[in-house]
Chains A and B, each alone.
Chain A
Amino acid sequence: MIGEMKAGTNFERVLRAGHFAVTAELGPPDSSNPADVLHEIEVMGGAVDAYNATDASGAHCHMSSVAVSALTAQQGLDPILQISCRDKNRIAIQGDVLGAAALGVGNVLCLTGDDVTAGDQPQAKRVFDFDCMHLLRTLRIMRDKSMFLSGRPLTTAPKLFLGAASNPFAMPFDFRPIRLAKKIEAGADFIQTQYCFDIPRLKEYMKRVVDMGLHEKAFIMVGVGPMKGGRSAEFIRKNVPGVRIPDAVVDRLNAAPKGKKAEEGKKICVEMIQQAMEIEGISGAHIMAYKLEHQVPDIVKEAGLWPRPVVEPVEVAEQLPVASNGQG
């Protein structure tokens, strides 16, 4: 077992047992119908260890990530609750985390979040009371010290496996590993990267990360995803903040015969996983198959990652409240 068990979720157990973990993004519905979430989960066919519930990604409103996570947990599956700092201040966030933990959520991915201008309601007020570093540290304080950021004690601390994002493909490149070190110091137990289409850049980044020993302090998962075709790849690289897709990838998608483009996109995604698996310090893959969720089982199988391992649950010690420790 690698490191100390924090929440004991399926996702954490798979990683700590030394398996190459697989997670996928659940596209939250624009609906109030829980069946839509369950359908989405069903489409993935149990091919992943945990399901990321996005928090209004790209500043587009959908069903809340807390609700999607809770519905996932109700199915006996393992959600990763994404929290963005864009829409909520520190008071709302800490309350949401307690509520989510009460509903069976154990993994939380802490994000700064895309700006409001990336979405369809750019008139909205941006909050950003916290940045992702503050969010990570605050949740770690809640978990490890059993208190709110203010120092007010919790009677039951949430058991959390904390994650953060990283974008090795965005400037300033030399600063990215330092920022990763900060996130790990702040509280990140696992990392999911932005979409990777550039293996040489990932290798360069991971070399620095490994030299700094960061891969031993947190589980680093490569972000990947299938593209529908050249046109959608161009749209994504133009419109989704922080996504780099090299021309060679777009050209390859364009060159694929009509009707076979999505197949080529899937092939590229599988190749990215397989190449990333060879890189020292990569512990898993995070699949973002936006509107292509049905491809996830095939991607996992073709990458040689099926069936998913079963790791028996272990007891995680209760964090005692600190009220008697002279706080307050």
Chain B
Amino acid sequence: MSIGSWLRDHPRMLERAYGSTKSLFQKLDPVIKRIGYERVNRWIAGPEDWSKRLAFDCKMCGQCVLHSTGMTCSMSCPKNLRNGACGGVRENGHCEVKPEMRCVWVEAFERSEKMGEWGQEISHIQPPVNRQLEGTSAWVNMLTGVDKEVPKGWVGINTIPVLEKSGGQS
């Protein structure tokens, strides 16, 4: 088992790591702002790519929603589905496109159920991806807020809490 898949099977731990990294970045924001977001992006995009690729098979979309998708990278779905799972999932729970791989969204759903804080966000509708952010640091984009910007027509409906998962039977 690779480090990445071991890590991904411990979504609660990843969720905590995400929470603390997020607050660390938020605390450092004034410093990062002074250095310049673009400059910091150039410094950390590389290491971020390396570490997140190792842990999540990250595709550097630049607008990370891992905590809303069971700490599973939705961009590693061959169809890049932000709102999966598609109807093509095989009987054994594997991917329609890559039969040897478990469906990213089957795993996302399973892992979201093991998460404490953000698990229910799997029922949110994720807005369309901003392709201009590809290859940039999602952490820096979080600080500038560009990762939350949506097309004008989409305003106000960026994520929709359809229902709380705990309300349904499992």
Contact = CB atoms under 8 A, between A and B. Distances in A.
Interface stretch (A44-52, A175-183, A251-259, A272-280): A175-183
Task: List 6 tightest A-B contacts by C-beta distance, closest first.
Answer: A151-B152, A167-B87, A241-B88, A133-B83, A242-B87, A241-B96
Please classify how large the interface on chain B is, using the bins under 10, 10 to 19, 20 to 34, 35 or more: 35 or more
Contacts of B44: none
A115 B79 contact: yes
Interface of B: 78-91, 93, 96-97, 103, 105-106, 109-110, 122-123, 125-129, 131, 151-155, 157, 160, 162-163, 165, 168-170
B99 to A, nearest CB: 10
A174 B91 contact: no
A208 B169 contact: yes
Given A114-B96, A242-B89, A137 B82 contact: no
B152 A112 contact: no
A115 B154 contact: no
A76 interface: no
B96 A175 contact: no
Given A115-B79, A174-B170, A241-B96, A194 B87 contact: yes
Contacts of B91: 171, 244
Given A137-B125, A165-B87, A185-B125, A172 B105 contact: yes
Given A167-B87, A327-B152, 14 more contacts: A113-B79, A114-B96, A115-B97, A128-B79, A129-B128, A137-B125, A145-B153, A151-B152, A165-B87, A170-B87, A171-B103, A181-B163, A182-B160, A182-B162
Contacts of B168: 174, 177-178, 208, 211-212
Interface string A118-134: 10000000101111111
Given A114-B88, A149-B128, A172 B160 contact: no
Contact of A166 (B79, B87, B169): B87
A138 interface: yes
Nearest to A142: B153
Contact of A150 (B81, B93, B105, B153): B153
Contacts of B122: 175, 178
Given A171-B106, A172-B109, A182-B123, A131 B165 contact: no
Interface residues of A, number: 48
Interface string A211-245: 11000000000000000000000000000011010
B45 to A, nearest CB: 23
11 contacts: A115-B97, A128-B80, A131-B84, A150-B153, A171-B85, A171-B103, A172-B106, A174-B169, A185-B162, A186-B125, A194-B87
Interface in A72-127: 86, 90, 112-115, 117-118, 126
Contact of A133 (B82, B87, B103): B82
Nearest to B80: A128
